[in-house]
Amino acid sequence: VYKYQLSVVSTSPTDIRLTWQPLSSQHSRGAITRYRIDYSALDQMDIMFSVELRGNETQFTLRELRPNQVYRLRIAAGTSVGFGVPSEWVQHQTIVLIFAPSELKVRSRVSTLNVTWQPSPNHTMVSGYKLSYREAEADGTSKQEGSSKTHTIRLRKKARHHLLTGLVPDRQYEVRVWGFNRQKDGEAAVWKGRTDKIYSRPSGPSSSPPLPPSSIQATANSSTSIWLRWEKPRFINVRIINYTVRCSPAGTTNASLVSYYTSSSLEILLGGLKPFTHYELAVRSNGEDSAGPFSGTVEESTLPDRPSTPPQELQLSALDSSSVLVSWRPPLEPNGIICSYSILFTVNLSEPEHQWRNLSEDGDIFSTEVNGLSGGTWYFFKVGASTKVGPGPFSSVMDVQTPLPTYELDVHAVTGIIVGVCLGLICILLCMCFSFRNSKSRSVLHMVII
Ligand SMILES: *[C@@H]1O[C@H](CO)[C@@H](O)[C@H](O)[C@H]1NC(C)=O
Ligand SMILES: *[C@@H]1O[C@H](CO)[C@@H](O)[C@H](O)[C@H]1NC(C)=O
Ligand SMILES: *[C@@H]1O[C@H](CO)[C@@H](O)[C@H](O)[C@H]1NC(C)=O
Ligand SMILES: *[C@@H]1O[C@H](CO)[C@@H](O)[C@H](O)[C@H]1NC(C)=O
Ligand SMILES: *[C@@H]1O[C@H](CO)[C@@H](O)[C@H](O)[C@H]1NC(C)=O
Ligand SMILES: *[C@@H]1O[C@H](CO)[C@@H](O)[C@H](O)[C@H]1NC(C)=O
Ligand SMILES: *[C@@H]1O[C@H](CO)[C@@H](O)[C@H](O)[C@H]1NC(C)=O
Ligand SMILES: *[C@@H]1O[C@H](CO)[C@@H](O)[C@H](O)[C@H]1NC(C)=O
């Protein structure tokens, strides 16, 4: 039996290539006109395939075989008479096909890369994983390919992640992961990316934080609400999940007065604000696992409202029986510019408010004199403030009593009368004395005439 010099190699997972030496004439027993190749998979030996070739051929490639499968094959030479004794069976395994691991993900930090993956589909044929990494400057321009050393690490079959440490910050890396077995390395999954810059937070996000939104516009909607609208950042570097709005009264340094709201749309109605108050607003974008910086602030004031508290410190003092001085201070919460104060007063507390007498003063006046009152009477007063939106509440009622009228004498008039009377008496006395001296009888007569 002639021993064929057969060589068998796999060039791909589905191919086997045979090459052989042509038979010498002493073995051929005639001109070789053809060859026959028989083959079958070892697990299906009853299904035999045969191929016939011309006698001048010395190689043939079996195609469309199954990967990772043992085949047996033999060759026989034939003359015009017929085929001779075939060669012995030769066994050969097609190449194991190990797909690349799926879902290769890398979380980058300043000096580490946490590499995670899922097993390759043909996991059962894998006896372990290999991971290699090297510095890979973008475009390969700045560094020669050979200058960056490739490090390869063998990992267990069960390994699903590996932490690469001691890397250079802000440097491009290439990471490959592939399964292998005794015969062969599988296809590699490849990742390329950068380690974080040194100033990014060490425990911070893997990706760069999203940029703040643009074109932020605030519009007062009422005395307690402001509409805030914005647009997506001009450059989207990270998928934005939602936005955080910061709202604080302008110039506040008190952190407990700063409020935060979340919106997943491009607008929000901020409610529960204070009337006629200046607010500072800013918006930031939130990515999956990173929050961006806040935008610059925009400012807006809520609209004015009626005063929510009455004027303070109402004071009354009776000036005389017909006039009272009323004074007050502005309300604690004016909610706008006070344009007027109204002063209401009455003598009868059970009278409805519209029947009280009233006075009005400008918003910058804080006292007034009420005249034309009756003496010896109790008066009840209250004061209210108004903005251009409307009147606020009145202060609580205070009372005052005017004094009784007193009729005082004119000192000069009284003095004049007394002086006059005295002068008259003196005249009478003088006349009487004069008459006595002349004649007692006449003087008596004179006295009577006077
Ligand atoms: C074998 O012979 C055939 C027909 O003469 C020819 O077409 C073919 O190219 C030859 N093959 C080789 C490998 O010489
Ligand atoms: C790396 O990622 C894996 C999977 O997410 C996680 O279990 C592991 O704790 C991470 N290691 C580090 C150091 O972050
Ligand atoms: C895994 O290998 C088997 C056996 O070779 C093969 O039949 C199968 O198609 C492979 N799996 C995938 C997902 O290709
Ligand atoms: C306030 O918001 C409501 C509800 O969107 C809207 O109908 C109304 O026109 C707004 N008012 C102002 C003054 O913007
Ligand atoms: C900050 O504001 C809160 C709530 O209005 C208040 O209770 C607190 O006293 C304020 N703190 C300072 C330091 O002003
Ligand atoms: C906003 O997005 C962040 C990050 O994804 C998330 O944690 C948070 O629950 C979201 N908030 C709302 C109100 O949707
Ligand atoms: C006080 O006003 C009430 C209601 O107008 C009225 O019934 C009552 O007679 C008034 N009292 C006096 C003393 O005028
Ligand atoms: C004051 O009295 C006048 C006349 O009765 C009335 O028209 C006006 O509305 C009153 N003003 C207030 C603030 O009550």
| Per-position pLDDT tens, the chain of length 450 | 567 788 999 888 889 999 998 877 777 778 889 999 999 999 998 999 999 999 899 999 999 998 888 999 999 999 888 898 899 999 998 887 788 888 899 998 888 899 999 987 767 778 899 999 998 875 555 445 555 788 999 999 999 999 998 888 888 899 999 998 877 788 889 999 888 876 544 444 456 788 899 889 999 999 999 999 999 988 777 788 999 999 999 988 888 889 999 999 999 999 999 999 999 999 999 988 788 899 989 999 999 999 999 999 999 999 988 999 999 999 999 999 999 999 999 999 999 989 999 999 999 999 999 999 988 899 999 999 999 999 999 999 999 999 888 766 566 777 878 888 888 898 888 888 877 777 665 555 555 555
**Sign of the CA dihedral running 140, 144, 147, 153:** positive
289 lines ligand 6 (CB under 6 A): no
User: Is the Cβ atom of 351 under 6 angstroms away from ligand 7?
Assistant: yes
- Ligand 2, pocket residues at CB < 6 Å: 114, 116, 161, 163
Say what the pLDDT of residue 28 is: 72
Of all protein residues, the one whose alpha carbon is nearest to atom 7 of ligand 4 is: 221
* Closest ligand (CA of 222): 4
Q: Tell which CATH classification among 3.30.1540.10, 2.60.40.10, 3.40.50.300, 3.10.105.10 matches the domain 102-194.
A: 2.60.40.10
* 105 Cα: distance to centroid of ligand 2 (angstroms): 11
Q: Is 415 in the pocket of ligand 7 (CB under 6 A)?
A: no
Which residues 6+ apart lie within 8 Å of 19 measured at CB? Answer: 6, 7, 58, 59
Please give the sequence-ordered ranges of beta strands (E in DSSP) within 79-122, or none if there are none: 90-93, 102-108, 113-118
Q: At what angle do helices 411-438 and 440-449 cross, to 10 degrees?
A: 150
Query: Which atom of ligand 7 approaches the CA of 355 most closely?
Result: 5
The answer to whether the beta carbons of residues 159 and 129 sit under 8 Å apart is yes
Where helices occur in 397-439 by DSSP H, the ranges are: 411-438
Residue 254, ligand 5, Cβ within 6 A: yes
Q: Which atom of ligand 2 approaches the CA of 114 most closely?
A: 1
Ligand 8 centroid – CA 389 distance (Å): 17
User: What distance in angstroms lies between residue 351's CA and the mean position of ligand 7's atoms?
Assistant: 6
Distance 188 CA to ligand 3 centre (A): 17
Q: Give the pairing type, strands 259-263 and 298-301.
A: unpaired
Structural contact between residues 39 and 49, judged by C-beta atoms closer than 8 angstroms: yes
Give the pLDDT confidence score for residue 210 in this predicted structure.
87
pLDDT at residue 203, as a whole number: 46
Check pocket membership of 358 for ligand 8, CB cut-off 6 A: yes
What class, spelled out in words, does domain 312-401 have in CATH? Answer: mainly beta
Residue whose CB lies within 8 A of the most ligand 4 atoms, among 224, 227, 302, for a mutation test: 227
Whole-number Å distance, alpha carbon 253 to ligand 5 midpoint, is 10
Atom 13 of ligand 7 has which residue's CA nearest to it?
348
**Domain 214-301 maps to which CATH number in 2.60.40.10, 3.30.70.3270, 3.60.15.10, 3.30.70.270?**
2.60.40.10
Q: Which residue has the CA at smallest separation from atom 2 of ligand 3?
A: 122
CA 22 to CA 25: how far, in whole Å? 9
Residues of the chain with CATH 2.60.40.10: 6-93, 102-194, 214-301, 312-401
Residues at CB less than 6 angstroms from ligand 4: 219, 221
Alpha-carbon distances, residue 263 vs 213, 270, 368 (angstroms): 12, 11, 52
Using CA positions, which residue lies closest to atom 6 of ligand 2? 161
The 59-62 sheet, strands edge to edge: 6-9, 16-20, 59-62
| Residue whose CB lies within 8 A of the most ligand 6 atoms, among 241, 244, 265, 290, for a mutation test | 241
Residue 114: how many CB atoms within 10 A of its CB? 15
Helix, strand, coil shares of the chain as percentages rounded to 5?
Answer: 15, 40, 45
387: its two tokens: 């903005």
Q: Tell the CATH superfamily of the 6-93 domain.
A: Immunoglobulins (2.60.40.10)
Q: Which two tokens stand for residue 166?
A: 């001691």
Ligand 8 center from residue 224 Cα (angstroms): 30
Q: What is the pLDDT of residue 447?
A: 56
Chain centre to alpha carbon of residue 89: 73
Q: What is the distance, to the nearest Å, from the Cα of residue 423 to the centroid of all Cα atoms in its chain?
A: 102
259 lines ligand 8 (CB under 6 A): no
Q: Which ligand is nearest to the CA of 355?
A: 8
Quick one: pLDDT at residue 422? Answer: 84
At 204 the pLDDT is 44
Place of tokens 């003063």: 361
Which residue, judged by its Cα, is nearest atom 12 of ligand 8? Answer: 358
pLDDT at 201: 46
